[in-house]
Chain A
Amino acid sequence: MTIRGIRILPPLAIGRLGAAATPMDNYEVVKDQRKPLGYRHLRPAETFDVDISSGRILSTFTPSWVQFKDGPKVRPIAPFLEVWAVVSRDRMEPLTLDVLERSGLTPADLRWRVHVANHKVFRRTGDWHDKVEAFAPEPEPDLRLEVLRGKPKSIPRNKGSDPTFPTFSDHKVHQLLGRSPNFWAGRSIRLGSVQYIDPTKEFPQIRLRFTPAGGYVYGSSWEKPPPGRPDDPNLHEIVYRGRRGGWLGYTEPSSVEGVAKLTAPSTIYAGESIDGNATSKGYLDDECDGIVYAVLNSPSGPFPPAYARIGAGPPAYAPDSFPVRTVADELEQALLGTSVGIDQVSAESAEEIIRRAFETIRLMNTELMNGNPAVGGLAANNMVVQDNRDTGRASEPIMDPSLVNNSSLAHLHEAILASLLSGTAPWFTGVLRRYDQIGDLSDRGRRKMPAFMRGADGRYMTLTRRQIDLIEKVASRNLNGS
């Protein structure tokens, strides 16, 4: 078996913030076979016991229950990224000690580098000195500066093996310390850490673990902060030098050009109203996203580098539920197109979309989101109010207020699911909102599905075109009796 190349799986791994010392154990999410739209069950699953000091997996265990917190602290979700070997034109296998050895290689021939960043302040101020970047290992200062400046022609972004970026192949914990030119000297935001897991005979696979940060809030000051905890109890540490950068006291621009470049939605930072302007308190967080590169050397030279994306976001607070439209749906559509191959059409896939829609609706106060006047729905933060505020559309409930309580909607989704699966719901695709119908704020247009939710364009949410195609094909397949 010859190694032709390597890849890292998954190509996008999500870490989730938490300050507990022990990362979250593994678990499975299992559908309730007795209830079509019942809650999914969480079942403990085989978990690696990683010895941080050696970087080795000592053993596996299955916990007795799924525990999200350790005392008052949330357990971080710390994903593993596996290196896979492409061994033939269309076959990939996990890269292991054995596979390496058969190619005359050792784990030390696999080298890593990691680059993550937090550009939230930069996105607002537009000042590259506000970029917070972390590397493992840390590059030479000149190269770091070049990355910060974002000179596309001089940054070897597509060359993970570029000799100017240092790499590591040891099994120590590498801290991802986010630094910025506008930080106080010696101050940084810890954006997490990475560790190349030392493969052993018992656990021979080649993998790296990303452990995200604790979920702390960092701050800014006009004067050099003294050692110790900040006076502001919200803050873990003061890092940002208020007089050097513009984040402390920042307000959104009011020029025509400035307004056009604002985030959507805008003014989504911690601030206080001063003279009617949302004025930044200078807070930063320890979320990040970035790239893990792996390079495998061989006697004839390095294979083309492989890379994967990582990110650190908030916990998924309803872990037995999943969003109706996910990042995976977006990426699949961009990769594979708007049409699902007939060999990939399954009732189970369509059922999963309906299930996820219901899992969102079930945890939502649907009477309030519908704009029911009796519960204050015409003054709440919902699509009814957004419609009126953004477009001048009449302010009125979306659906008949008597039809939208959670139990009624549960029955509706169960009926949809049953009829879709039994082939009696060809009508259903007609009530799905298409992407080019988001401007239809007529009574009928607003009642299409998914209901009540806001999409990435700020108007009513739609499924991806690929998701709708899948549902249509399931419905028409049933209609055809095939």
Chain B
Amino acid sequence: MSEPIKARNLSAQLHYRAAGNPPTTLASSAISNCFPGLEFDLRNLWRRLFQGILLHEADNLVVAAEDPGFRKLVGHRLIFVEECPMFIELRGPTKPGGADVLLTGSGNGVAALEWSNAMASVLERFKGTKDKVRCRFTKNPAWNPIGPMESSSAQLMTVRMHLNNLFYTGPDGEQAVINDTVVLPGELTQSLCSPWQNDYRECACYYWAASRPDFVNVEQTGPGKGTGNNWLAKDVEHKEYVVDSAVNQSKLWTYDELFRDWQRRLSFIVGGRDAEE
């Protein structure tokens, strides 16, 4: 039988592993660099942070007003929350060795910051209070991302808004479970690939190699040199990494093969190698 847990120890509750549960049932086994994610797209946690509006999960755009009083904000962009900017300028060289300049290849030289880190200090400061948060939106609708020049004070309007509780808050205080009024069933997975197998070929999922391996069965061939297999390679007898390129498609499991037979085709990797299954 499990030992007692302090009701206020939310971290212990979050990490609690119920009897009989393998480690991969825990939140600590799920990736959170969600672009879009594997188990969840946790960016959806933040869409209803502000009462009355619905934000895009990955952009500083108001996509809907759940309170009709905020309809005027739909299509506007949230630029600052208190003193925190919700976007960042992109700077770097356009030629190897060149000077760092504003990179406007995507349009306006800015990128929206992920909600999780950008909102963290706002959440710390205002959580559990009745205080309104000072939000500055674009004065005009801005369906396209706006650049640094357009985010000057003269182009913004201030709206003070209440925060929703991201976590359920009961009679004894905040708990470690995501509030059911802030994220509805289906919303934590809604922006993932459909079907999920598509992601294993479509996206640059190598960023999640601890969950969806990339380079496996690696053998050292010399000092600082090694070779191994692409996890999706059909032939793993030869130690050769097959690059996912147009000419190599026949050497990798295809979309269709994954849709119909992913369980047979994909190997579990233990110790960096195909596991005994």
Contact = CB atoms under 8 A, between A and B. Distances in A.
Given A316-B29, A317-B269, A270 B4 contact: no
Contacts of B186: 116-119, 122, 131-133, 288-290
Contact of A323 (B25, B31, B40): B31
A157 B180 contact: yes
A430 interface: no
A158 to B, nearest CB: 5
Contact of A217 (B20, B34, B104, B260): B260
Q: Which 7 A-B pairs have the closest CB atoms?
A: A392-B105, A117-B186, A441-B92, A313-B39, A285-B195, A435-B117, A119-B186
B contact patch SS: loop
B149 interface: no
A454 B16 CA distance: 29
B113 A457 contact: yes
B184 A217 contact: no
Given A13-B21, A323-B32, 20 more contacts: A4-B172, A29-B23, A90-B7, A215-B262, A215-B263, A260-B59, A268-B192, A285-B195, A317-B266, A319-B23, A322-B210, A323-B210, A325-B31, A330-B32, A331-B27, A336-B11, A369-B206, A442-B93, A455-B35, A464-B120
Q: How large is the interface on B (under 10, 10 to 19, 20 to 34, 35 or more residues)?
A: 35 or more
Interface string A367-381: 011000001100111
Nearest to A457: B114
B153 interface: no
A458 B110 CA distance: 12
A326 B42 CA distance: 10
Contact of A46 (B17, B20, B272): B20
Interface of B: 1-2, 4-8, 10-11, 13-36, 38-40, 42-43, 45, 56-59, 61, 63, 66, 75, 85, 88-96, 98, 100, 103-106, 109-114, 116-118, 120-121, 123-124, 143-144, 166-168, 170-172, 174-178, 180-181, 184-199, 202-204, 206-216, 218, 220, 224-226, 228, 230-231, 241, 243-245, 255-256, 259-260, 262-264, 266-272, 275-277
A192 interface: no
Q: How large is the interface on A (under 10, 10 to 19, 20 to 34, 35 or more residues)?
A: 35 or more
B88 A77 contact: no
A455 to B, nearest CB: 5
Contacts of A323: 29-33, 208, 210-211
5 contacts: A92-B4, A260-B143, A328-B14, A406-B218, A461-B207
A contact patch SS: mixed
